[in-house]
A and B are shown apart, each in its own frame.
Chain A
């Protein structure tokens, strides 16, 4: 399969590979996909004063999946959470010139972004209500809904 130069660059030199502390209240974590489907993405954002100051990912998947998550973390950094929510899979697919059979990789990246934001928001609202109703976070990891 012939891939675009941008895709190959992101695949060979992926940006922002790594992990953020998922217990940190300022960090939102999204884990989407399934091993049996051949791709799993974990995307994390660290938000300070409403701005995404850092983003990290780890991806099990094909070259397009790795490139899509690398690009997503690049785009997230510096955006507000609301701006981040407007990132669409079609934008990722267009930027990397994904072939039709690989569009699902960009869909997964969008899901990962949404899932990370949802996790961050639920942590924030949990923190606000924490004083009245302490809640323990489940120890088992879970994929995004």
Chain B
């Protein structure tokens, strides 16, 4: 099969819609366009039925026992906001403390910052050099004022998979709620809200081959029953937790994506792992000074985050413009600051500037992996020939001993 350019290898950012998902959605734009809240006619009933079925499928995917625990939203950013702000507000008489980690997505971190401005206290747990949270740190951080612990299932940059099950045991024992932003891990690593004692979970469709603009928040209904204050006022949709006319085609697509994950995720994870390892072993065999960022044991199968020392990430991305990837380099962000996730893991700024994230997905092939490996190896060599740092390294100069003029 001929390779299509540019090769998409940024599946942590978003995924293409699976053609089967699109097919399932299409009737809900035209013939079955009804408002799921219309109780008085068949258009409404048809839409409502599709939404109920979707709730069941998505509940099954995350191990939820009751489909009514699925609250549809516009995506994971909204779900994260609703979980944290909704719980903080509802339980404000009970406490004022939230525990999270320094490597969470901005949707969590910025929400926490806003809550701090409103008088809540937030503990940001550090991670180890593999990007992992120590469950013991969670235990130690819990006080009698703690309402909620929020830890992501898997990290979007380095793919580290957090010990949610172990954290869940602790939060359950201590009687505090556990929220997990599960966006990156769903369908790739095991996730079960019952087995892991998760009380709230954010999921989005567009990271699992569904459409953009739709996601859900899992909100536990029993043992314990989680309550939250709605953050948007309106018609009281979604059990009063999220007002707004339901995005029925999106929800149908989300459910179809979940159904495919239920059937195929096990085989797919194996395939992604094999592709990832094919890429990693070639890069590490044919180039020196390549460092993998993150954990090798607890990692998303399709994630490869590597630093090519002495080569700057954005320059490398320009050189491999036939491949869509992303970098932790400051030069790729508007803020001009290198990745806060790599920083939290103790990766030096120089290596953060040299990092590239490959996100391998459902539609990548072995041919693509081989093409990317060839291209990256060639371009890294070319850029190193141009790099004064690589020359100094080869001459045996310790770059840390050089007095650099920071600017």
Residues of A in contact with B (beta carbons under 8 Å apart) = 11, 14, 17, 19, 31-42, 58-63, 65-66, 101, 104, 107-108, 111, 140-145
Query: B50-102: which residues lie under 8 A (CB-CB) from chain A?
Result: none
Expressed in whole angstroms, the minimum distance between the Cβ of B185 and any Cβ of chain A is: 30
Interface centre among B338, B353, B390, B399 (most CB of A within 10 A): B353
B386–A140 touching, CB < 8 Å:
no
Of chain A, the residue at the smallest CB distance from B310 is A60
Distance, CA A36 to CA B386, complexed state (A): 18
Of chain B, the residue at the smallest CB distance from A111 is B407
B331 at the interface (CB under 8 A from A): yes
B350–A19 touching, CB < 8 Å:
no
Known: A58-B387, A59-B388, A60-B389. A141 touches B311 (CB 8 A): no
A36–B350 touching, CB < 8 Å:
yes
Query: B343-390: which residues lie under 8 A (CB-CB) from chain A?
Result: 348-350, 353, 385-390
Distance, CA A35 to CA B350, complexed state (A): 5
Distance, CA A37 to CA B312, complexed state (A): 10
A37–B349 touching, CB < 8 Å:
yes
Expressed in whole angstroms, the minimum distance between the Cβ of B31 and any Cβ of chain A is: 42
Interface centre among B310, B389, B405 (most CB of A within 10 A): B405
B406–A36 touching, CB < 8 Å:
yes
Closest 3 interchain pairs by CB?
Answer: A34-B404, A35-B350, A36-B349
Apart from A36-B349, A58-B391, A143-B405, what are 20 other A-B pairs with CB-CB below 8 Å? A32-B405, A34-B404, A34-B405, A35-B404, A36-B348, A37-B407, A38-B353, A39-B312, A41-B388, A58-B387, A59-B387, A59-B388, A60-B390, A62-B314, A63-B318, A65-B315, A66-B386, A101-B334, A104-B407, A143-B403
B397 at the interface (CB under 8 A from A): yes
Residues of B in contact with A (beta carbons under 8 Å apart) = 310-312, 314-315, 318, 329-331, 334, 336, 338, 348-350, 353, 385-392, 397, 399, 401-407
Distance, CA A66 to CA B314, complexed state (A): 11
For A145, list chain B residues within 8 Å (CB).
Answer: 405
Of chain B, the residue at the smallest CB distance from A7 is B318
- Residue among A31, A34, A59 making CB contact with B407, cutoff 8 Å: A34
Distance, CA A41 to CA B312, complexed state (A): 12
A63–B315 touching, CB < 8 Å:
yes
Distance, CA A40 to CA B403, complexed state (A): 12
Known: A60-B310, A62-B314. A31 touches B406 (CB 8 A): no
B389–A40 touching, CB < 8 Å:
yes
B406–A34 touching, CB < 8 Å:
yes
Distance, CA A32 to CA B312, complexed state (A): 16
Known: A143-B402, A143-B403, A143-B404. A62 touches B331 (CB 8 A): yes
For A19, list chain B residues within 8 Å (CB).
Answer: 391
For B315, list chain A residues within 8 Å (CB).
Answer: 11, 61-63, 65-66
Of chain B, the residue at the smallest CB distance from A63 is B318
- Residue among A63, A107, A144 making CB contact with B405, cutoff 8 Å: A144
For A17, list chain B residues within 8 Å (CB).
Answer: 385-386
Instruction: Supply 24 A–B pairs (Cβ within 8 Å), ascending by A.
Output: A11-B318, A19-B391, A33-B405, A34-B404, A35-B389, A35-B399, A36-B348, A36-B349, A37-B404, A38-B338, A38-B349, A38-B350, A40-B388, A58-B386, A58-B387, A59-B386, A60-B312, A60-B387, A60-B388, A62-B315, A140-B402, A143-B402, A144-B405, A145-B405
Expressed in whole angstroms, the minimum distance between the Cβ of A34 and any Cβ of chain B is: 3
Expressed in whole angstroms, the minimum distance between the Cβ of B320 and any Cβ of chain A is: 12
Distance, CA A116 to CA B163, complexed state (A): 53
Known: A37-B406, A108-B407. A101 touches B336 (CB 8 A): yes
